[in-house]
Amino acid sequence: MQLRCALSVCHVLMLVLCLSTAEDFDWTKNNYGSFYYGTFPTGFSWGAGGSAYQTEGAWDKDGKGLSIWDVFSHKKGKIQLNDTGDSSCESYYKIKDDVSLMKELRLNHYRFSISWPRIIPTGIKSDHVNEKGIQYYDELIDHLLENNITPIVTLYHWDLPQVLQEKYSGWQNISMINHFNDYANLCFEKFGDRVKHWITFNNPWSVAVEGYETGEHAPGLKLRGTGAYRAAHHIIKAHAKVWHTYDTQWRAKQKGLVGVSLAGDWGEPVDISNQKDIEAAERYVQFYLGWFATPMFHGDYPQVMKDFVGRKSAQQGLGTSRLPSFSPQEKSYIKGTCDFLGIGHFTTRYITNRNDPPGRSSSSYFTDRDLAELVDPRWPDPGSEWLYSVPWGFRRLLNFVKTQYGNPMIYVTENGVSEKMMCTELCDEWRIQYYKEYINEMLKAIRDGVNVKGYTAWSLLDKFEWDEGFSERFGLYYVDFRNKNKPRYPKASVQFYKRIISSNGFPNQREVENWRRKAVEMCSSSNQLLAADPLTSHMEMVTEIVVPTVCTLSILISAVLLMFLLRRRN
């Protein structure tokens, strides 16, 4: 997190520097373009999402095993304000409440993840399967389907069973592939009759880089220059194995789809007339999205990654590249293992070429890329330090996916914006603006011919935001974490997103403007409810703790008094 903050400050400073020195740099080449009024293809799927560790709570209930995030978040100093996901949104106990929020939004799908240690406490299937965990997901899936909401289910949203980390070093170890495959197979067996959209991994970039390279995320390892590449290598193979398992054992009967959800920020050249910047920007995207997508669609890592990491490794005196390689058999086994591609997209960077000298001690995924990231100080950034609103980058990324990977079926699995913790503001006009513009750029991309089948707003609820704890709120619904019942309140963006869904797009300027106005009008009454909440929590405390304690004490005192009086009479 600190690293991210420092980077952001650098970005802004560098860009200001660039602006003052580079006369020929033309911002107007990247103007926002006009708004496009129109509708999405019939059957387009609208959704919202969340993930197990971020929302469920019940971290040690009903036989669940520990995950690396349970352990990591309990260590002091790892998470903002030492928050943990122990109770989070308590979604484990709120299936019905949450599904009614989804109904209110008129969602077509809901994206959630299964907690591996909730259903296999040690991560090793032959050890023990936890029936209570299975029951929970059964209920969630059934309840979604009863309400005509399609479940899109992620198998791995970062919460690796702790036992696997301790025994094998987690994704550093090749044995994860078989354990993950056993777990996935169990999910297909138990839930595959009803779940038709499976995502193997969510954002493996983050797992690899933040989990094993910078250590900002669980398991917190800092294996610079090698850890991320090794973790990614095993994840890609595990993904392929699970796809083949589904393909050979379940597809004919269950007729579902298996994909992956990859994160991808867009990288735009700082100077579009400079070939070095153009190549650096392409490299940025290849080291991000391409690292995982290229093997899955074409069978091997992007050539540019092989060249850059290979060259730097040689200059560092290493006999082989720090980027592992696939055998010819592995390449053909991995190629073509995405029935659809999930895209999690939030933001964009300007990229310029920069030569990072290959010092052995400073070797890292970041310096391997030979580039610098910059941001435009004028881009809005309402919440997370790293999240600038740059809608046009979304359309470019979607078109990049279309041309690079043969126009695959795409589900946007994450897109949204956050605000900072202290803000109990439900009138989130900036989020309305973000969704309006990003969804519009997606519509333009569909008009360009990109095959986008669905969109998932991130996220349904405010929730545990990894190393940022509860300090960043991505939800359409506000969650009052101060109250142990974790009540949910609709933000204005709920009203706005709901209109986009029921119109399947943007009918005309007047109507869309009306939606915005009405949404903002409505949120002030929800704001009042929320403002009254501390009072309600206080009243609850009075009835649940103070009243029983006073009663018990009164009874005890009366009894003592009575005994005292009786004794005196005798």
Q: Report, as residue numbers or ranges, the catalytic residues.
A: 414
Q: How far apart are CA 418 and CA 476, in angstroms?
A: 10
Strands 371-374 and 419-420, how do they pair?
unpaired
Q: Are 311 and 349 in contact (CB under 8 A)?
A: no
Token readout for 293 is: 């997508």
Q: Are 475 and 459 in contact (CB under 8 A)?
A: yes
Q: How near is the Cβ of 472 to ligand NOJ at its closest, in Å?
A: 7
Q: Are 152 and 47 in contact (CB under 8 A)?
A: yes
Q: Which residues contact 141 (CB under 8 A, 6 or more apart)?
A: 151, 153, 191, 194, 195
Residue whose C-beta lies closest to ligand NOJ: 203
396 or 463: whose CB is closer to ligand NOJ? 463
Q: Are 119 and 130 in contact (CB under 8 A)?
A: yes
Q: What's 461's DSSP letter?
A: B
* CA–CA distances in Å: residue 27 to residues 17, 24, 348, 353: 15, 10, 15, 18
* Nearest in space to 234 (alpha carbons), one of 319, 324, 124: 324
| Region class of 158: left (phi > 0), else alpha (psi between -120 and 50), else beta | left
> Hey, is 347 helix, strand or coil?
coil
Q: How near is the Cβ of 264 to ligand NOJ at its closest, in Å?
A: 11
Q: How near is the Cβ of 319 to ligand NOJ at its closest, in Å?
A: 36
Q: How near is the Cβ of 170 to ligand NOJ at its closest, in Å?
A: 18
Q: How near is the Cβ of 348 to ligand NOJ at its closest, in Å?
A: 15
Peptide bond into 34 cis (omega under 30): no
Q: How near is the Cβ of 177 to ligand NOJ at its closest, in Å?
A: 22
Helices H, strands E: what count in the chain?
21, 17
Chain residues binding ligand NOJ by CB under 6 A are 51, 54, 202-203, 344, 414, 465, 474
> Hey, is 478 helix, strand or coil?
strand
16 or 423: whose CB is closer to ligand NOJ? 423
Length of the chain measured in residues: 570
> Hey, is 175 helix, strand or coil?
coil
Q: How far apart are CA 459 and CA 467, in angstroms?
A: 17
55 or 433: whose CB is closer to ligand NOJ? 55
414 or 441: whose CB is closer to ligand NOJ? 414
Measure the CA angle with vertex 156, ends 155 and 161; round to 5°: 110
Q: Containing H/E element for 260?
A: strand 257-263
Q: How near is the Cβ of 534 to ligand NOJ at its closest, in Å?
A: 27
Q: How near is the Cβ of 91 to ligand NOJ at its closest, in Å?
A: 14
Q: How far apart are CA 389 and CA 391, in angstroms?
A: 6
Q: Are 511 and 525 in contact (CB under 8 A)?
A: no
DSSP state letters, 401-430: HHHHTTS--EEEEEE---EETT------HH
Token readout for 554 is: 């009164």
Cα maximum dimension of the chain: 106
Query: If you search the block for the tokens 């391997």, which residue do you land on?
Result: 368
Q: How far apart are CA 262 and CA 206, in angstroms?
A: 9
Q: How near is the Cβ of 117 to ligand NOJ at its closest, in Å?
A: 17
Q: How near is the Cβ of 414 to ligand NOJ at its closest, in Å?
A: 6
Q: Are 149 and 99 in contact (CB under 8 A)?
A: yes
